[in-house]
Amino acid sequence: MKRVLMAALVLSICSCNEVVKPEVANDNEVTESNIIVHEEYSGVEPSKPEETELYEPKVAVVTPGKNGSAPSDAIVLFEGTSLDAWIHVQDSTAANWNLNDDGSMMVKDKSGNIQTKQNFGDVQLHLEWSSPAEVQRDGQNRANSGVFLNGMYEVQILDNNDNPTYVNGQVGSIYKQHIPLAMASVAAGEWNTYDIIYRSPEFNEAGDKIKSGTMTVMHNGILVQDDVALKGTTPYIGWPKNPTHGKGPLMLQDHQDNSRVSYRNIWVREL
Ligand code: MG
């Protein structure tokens, strides 16, 4: 920062016709090589409003859902009455998590994780979840579940209300990779929303990752993950791994400790 201030001082004592570019101080500051120039806005600036108004391409019309229900172009994964879109990870049998009377489903303890039959790449995902009002246990064992994008990158679900745990594993974290920007949960027993934008990583022909996947997460409308780079899988023990993959299922976690986490209004838009 000192060097930038020095550059500004130098600029202030130069003649008006001279342009002094700031010196490079560190990666977060401006360098000549990363200055962005929008070439399309060079030349003579338009003087009439219509010269900067576009009518193509046409923009798709999407009818929004109401109260968390799916918009018109979404793939509905759970709307309250059927688990047909889901199978158990372990043996690919029909998902048998519990259907609740209120149009939600609940983790069936020790039945194992469930995943979508359909595979997805880049998506916008909406889901709603609720931890039970009747609190049991502490830390990572209080209403722990999670949604795994591409079947391997977990956004943590946990009842963190008056229940601290390691911050890179709390609700809204990318598990053991990215600490959430806020703890935005409603009270236990109430419904939370997650809106997630996921972009897949890219791999070269040798199977090496050449571009990291990214995730943006809104928790109850509050930004908790801001376009973070995925460093790999999200294991409980060990480093993130980067297996080559294409599209994959969305997976919901059975933490196998009577989490009693419920889900509703799960839909996805492919991007
Ligand atoms: Mg979890």
pLDDT digits (tens, 9 = 90+) for 186-213: 999 999 999 999 999 999 999 999 999 9
Ligand 1 centroid–CA 184 distance in Å is: 17
Distance (Å) from CA 175 to ligand 1 centroid: 8
Q: Give the distance (Å) from ligand 1 centre to CA of residue 255.
A: 7
pLDDT in tens, 219-250: 999 999 999 999 999 999 999 999 999 999 99
How much distance in Å is there from the Cα of 244 to the middle of ligand 1? 23
Q: What is the CA(271)–ligand 1 centre distance, in A?
A: 25
The pLDDT of residue 30: 62
CB count, 10 Å around CB of 88? Answer: 18
Cβ density class 172-209: b for 16+ within 10 Å, e for less: bbbbbbbbbeebbbeebeebbbbbbbbbbbebeeeeeb
- Cβ proximity of 228 and 168 under 8 Å: no
Residue boundaries of the structural domains of the chain? 2-52, 75-270
Residues 6+ away with beta carbon under 8 Å from 218: 193, 194, 195, 196, 224
pLDDT band at 4; cut points 50, 70, 90: very low
On the CB side of 87, how many CA atoms lie within 13 Å of its CA? 11
What is the dihedral angle through the alpha carbons of 269, 87, 217, 38, rounded to the nearest 10 degrees? -40
What's the CA gap between 245 and 260, in Å, rounded? 31
Q: Which two tokens stand for residue 119?
A: 């595979």
pLDDT of residue 27: 54
Distance 145 CA to ligand 1 centre (A): 4
Closest CA to 109 of 234, 261, 236, 251: 261
Say whether the peptide bond before residue 49 is cis (omega within 30 degrees of 0).
Answer: no
CA of 158 to the centre of ligand 1 (A): 7
Residue 154 Cα, ligand 1 centroid: separation in angstroms?
A: 7
Ligand 1 centroid distance, CA of 23 (Å): 46
How many angstroms separate the alpha carbon of residue 259 from the centre of ligand 1? 10
Give distance in angstroms: CA of 69 to centre of ligand 1.
24
Mean pLDDT over each residue of the chain, to the nearest integer: 91
Measured CA distances, 138 to 143, 178, 191, 201, 257 (Å): 9, 21, 20, 34, 12
Q: Indicate the pLDDT class of residue 13, thresholds 50, 70 and 90.
A: very low
Q: What is the CATH number of domain 75-270?
A: 2.60.120.560
Interatomic CA distance for residues 183 and 163, integer angstroms: 11
pLDDT at residue number 32: 72
**Distance between Cα 254 and ligand 1 center (Å):** 8
The residue whose two tokens read 């060097």 is 3
65-94 pLDDT, tens digit per residue, is 999 899 999 999 999 999 999 999 999 999
163 or 32: which leads in pLDDT: 163
> 116: pLDDT confidence band, cut at 50, 70 and 90?
very high
CA of 261 to the centre of ligand 1 (A): 11
Q: How many Å lie between the centroid of ligand 1 and the Cα of residue 51?
A: 52
Q: Which two tokens stand for residue 263?
A: 């889900």
| Ligand 1 center–CA 201 separation, angstroms | 22
Measure the CA angle with vertex 200, ends 197 and 203; round to 5°.
165
Centre of ligand 1 from the C-alpha of residue 99, in Å = 21
Encode burial over 254-263: b for 16+ CB neighbours within 10 A, e otherwise.
bbeeebbbbb
Ligand 1 center from residue 95 Cα (angstroms): 19
CA of 253 to the centre of ligand 1 (A): 6
CA distance 100 to 114: 17
Which residues, by Cβ under 5 Å, contact ligand 1, an ion? 144, 146, 253
Q: Which amino acid is at 209?
A: K
24-57: per-residue pLDDT in tens?
Answer: 446 556 667 789 999 999 999 999 999 999 999 9
